[in-house]
Structure 1
């Protein structure tokens, strides 16, 4: 044992004198055969509005070699009309040099594109470039494809003269566009309106969407003649995400607005009338042949002339408002599809409310009317609303919810008329002054919700939801003809007897 300690000391000293051993994965190879691999062969940006940067796209770069490689240059040459920025290891720029990737490791490259205006082309255009990686004298490339488009930009616009938004280029709203109280904004058929996060179209005067458009034949569900309102995020993951923008808001001074052949989606509110002081005449909005869907559940606080009100999202929300709605689909709202309070007149003819919440566990009815609402934490004086509903559907994705509700409804039961409609309601089935088991209504059909529509989140048919009637739908051929409405949402003729809801089922 007395020789053990000197021996250990001798071995320790010898170890210090040995050359350092660097891990194999940190040794940099200069072999020209060392190649990189990539998670994508093409980095693709969907339509990018000119002058507006996109979100960053991810590209993973893999070094499958056992030793490290030094990438002498990573570059993306910006072409005329487009600027690219790279983010690599926290450093931003158009070029990165001497970037090392350890053996069997990877590198994340973020790419961002900004497209400058092109003076000539009003249609979408394509710009192609190559992201180049130079390693040990070898060049490898990944294509970068950007689809660009010119647009009209409205940043805090205040529209004080009668104006028409044309359909030749998209319109992009930042913060807001405000229609003055003495002004009319007309939007042409086929226009595309994109709103940045939180942006709103504010209407103090009159909004006319496709006011004179008369289609000559059947329209497709995504027909080019519809006016589209949605957020400005064009990536696929945002295609149906609620709450991306604020919606279309009608102020107490607005009058006689018309929204026809429009699709409004992915907003906090669809059509919101806010008139908390009950100023008369109430703002009025007529909605025809339109779709409002994917509406958020987030509660928002509004301040108007010292009045504070909290409102949750809805496809149609009226605060002392008049709405006339025909041939319209309201779908996939995280809270209400329709919410009306403090009086107002609501008329729904041939409408479909298919309220299948997709993100939240909805606990609210799809259709709610109330005679009062809290302002500054206190209830305002009650004003009874009026409702006429004919040949419509009120449905949702939970048979445990009451989809039709009236706050203090017994006090204004004489103002409510619902006929030849399909309703999901237990409370108002056949008792009391609000009982709806009359006037030709179909309540809680026992063949179940699975056969009411063609495709729903609970019974999907492929990736597309389709709220047209299923062949076994209890709403088929059960409506009473309305002489003033002879076509459906897609301009198909109403048959005899017609179908209940926004869509007329075509003959097989």
Structure 2
């Protein structure tokens, strides 16, 4: 019993001695180290909060130190806000007596929400500094944010506090119809390149109206937002060839998160939806990225939709989803789609020439091109595919088979590939996939050879003379100018890009 008592007393003494009651720090001597000397918070739109950025602060000394102040230089008036090792301080602006142990570090997380009026009027930069200590021990880390002015379009708030709604396929979404006589924005059916536009919810084009996008327009869609072109309404996207890497004449649709982290994340916004019965659509020099489905075309009228010189990237489901549509596509590039880069379902009429349909989505259950005359649940479930013609195209990707036919014999299914490079690696006895012997559907097919794109991960689908697609196009189908304005009047390459070797 006495032995247990001795162990008990020893345990109490050990525990007591291990609890520091003599914890002391010394004042910071101005020798803190930082993970960076400037924190660049990526471009934001006015009055929209930024992402959270990180700064790490190191105490390399052998002493536990106390930092008298960590604060923003502009104090409580700063548009930045911080947390320091989980502490919020005085409104996220000023922190007193922050302890940093020897050979240890702490994290500072930084955000901002600022107006264009807060920025420098010459360069639109908003800046501040994080100050550590003061006087002779003062150390500073700069904060820099670029602020963009923009036109904001969003649903109104009803008298009962609910948001304005728009009906799409019988479902209700947050949204509004664009007004050609809006008291604040003027003609909302005309988008120009004077300022970028930020859209919340679905922006609808009213019946019998036309929405026009001028060259150089930039559209940023918030989460769950999109563009809806209603019955008998029209879409005109009028981009032109750009002469610099800034794509100054391209029309760009993307999400409203401008941080580099979000540059290639799919599904940030919903889609451009062309409703049943919409009409007279023309799309030229559009770059669309990071949507759920890029172009969602729902059985418009019989007039042909012109889609030219268009790039669609990083869509969670489809690059183009066309339902019983009538499309003429030239110089189109699509890559990275969770289900299919191009999916033409429930029949329709399609001609695609000098297009690059690639799909390097991270799983193997995707296609570059999917054709179908079926729609489960429709009445009837089949509809004629009267034409699906691909001329001088590339159909490729990371999956074993990038071309899929979903065919019912209850309706017409007419398709033909002429002078195309195609990836379909599995041998099959299915008569629909006899690429070398079926001259009705396949002519001059280059099968399973590498097009050697410049850089698929960066969506650069240019080729050179090492490509299997080099100079393999048929002059009969040639589109004289490629997607970036190069001449391909002779020796055409397959796909949307003409290589430099034969360019006059």
Contact in 1 for aligned 2:418/2:444 (Cα 8 Å): no
Question: Alpha carbons of 1:470 and 1:228: their partners in 2 closer, same or farther (altered >3 Å)?
Answer: same
1:231-250 matched pairs, under 5 angstroms: 231-250=255-274
Q: Which moved more, 1:143-152 or 1:424-433?
A: 424-433
Cα deviation per residue 1:7-50 (whole Å; 9 max; x = unaligned)?
969x979969xx967649x8343345263221111110121111
Q: Report the 3-state secondary structure (helix = DSSP H, G, I; strand = E; otherwise coil) of the residue aligned with 1:342.
A: strand
Corresponding position of 1:53? 49
Contact in 2 for aligned 1:78/1:84 (Cα 8 Å): no
Corresponding position of 1:118? 117
Shift of 1:53: 0.8
Q: Distance in 2 between matches of 1:320 and 1:182?
A: 21
Contact in 2 for aligned 1:228/1:264 (Cα 8 Å): yes
Residues 1:131 and 2:130 aligned together? yes
1:58-207 matched pairs, under 5 angstroms: 58-78=54-74, 83-88=79-84, 89-91=86-88, 93-118=92-117, 125-134=124-133, 138-156=137-155, 157-161=176-180, 163-204=189-230, 205-207=233-235
Which of 274, 295, 315 is 1:295 aligned to? 315
TM-score by length of structure 2 reads 0.82
Shift of 1:253: 3.8
Residues 1:336 and 2:340 aligned together? yes
Shift of 1:160: 3.5
Alignment gaps of 5+ in structure 1? 297-312, 458-463
Q: Distance in 1 between matches of 2:260 and 2:140?
A: 25
Q: Report the 3-state secondary structure (helix = DSSP H, G, I; strand = E; otherwise coil) of the residue aligned with 2:261.
A: helix
Corresponding position of 1:37? 33
Contact in 1 for aligned 2:470/2:499 (Cα 8 Å): yes
Contact in 2 for aligned 1:82/1:114 (Cα 8 Å): no
Question: Alpha carbons of 1:355 and 1:221: their partners in 2 closer, same or farther (altered >3 Å)?
Answer: farther
Contact in 2 for aligned 1:423/1:441 (Cα 8 Å): no
Q: Distance in 1 between matches of 2:406 and 2:291?
A: 26
Contact in 1 for aligned 2:119/2:125 (Cα 8 Å): no
Q: Which moved more, 1:31-40 or 1:435-444?
A: 435-444
Q: Which moved more, 1:83-92 or 1:332-341?
A: 83-92
Cα deviation per residue 1:213-249 (whole Å; 9 max; x = unaligned)?
554xx74565221111111222222211211111212
Q: Which moved more, 1:245-254 or 1:133-142?
A: 133-142
Cα deviation per residue 1:110-148 (whole Å; 9 max; x = unaligned)?
111112133999986222211112279722111001111
Q: Distance in 2 between matches of 1:335 and 1:241?
A: 15
Q: Distance in 2 between matches of 1:333 and 1:282?
A: 27
1:236-275 matched pairs, under 5 angstroms: 236-275=260-299
Contact in 2 for aligned 1:425/1:443 (Cα 8 Å): no
Contact in 2 for aligned 1:35/1:135 (Cα 8 Å): no
Residues 1:394 and 2:395 aligned together? yes
Alignment gaps of 5+ in structure 2? 156-175, 181-186
Residues 1:362 and 2:349 aligned together? no
TM-score by length of structure 1 reads 0.81
Contact in 2 for aligned 1:336/1:364 (Cα 8 Å): yes
Corresponding position of 1:487? 481
Cα deviation per residue 1:347-398 (whole Å; 9 max; x = unaligned)?
21110112112xx3131322111112223xx775210223122111111113
Shift of 1:67: 3.2
Shift of 1:159: 0.6
Q: Report the 3-state secondary structure (helix = DSSP H, G, I; strand = E; otherwise coil) of the residue aligned with 1:237.
A: helix
Q: Report the 3-state secondary structure (helix = DSSP H, G, I; strand = E; otherwise coil) of the residue aligned with 1:425.
A: coil
Q: Which moved more, 1:72-81 or 1:144-153?
A: 72-81
Q: Distance in 2 between matches of 1:477 and 1:273?
A: 33
Corresponding position of 1:326? 330
Corresponding position of 2:384? 384
Shift of 1:431: 7.1
Q: Report the 3-state secondary structure (helix = DSSP H, G, I; strand = E; otherwise coil) of the residue aligned with 1:475.
A: coil
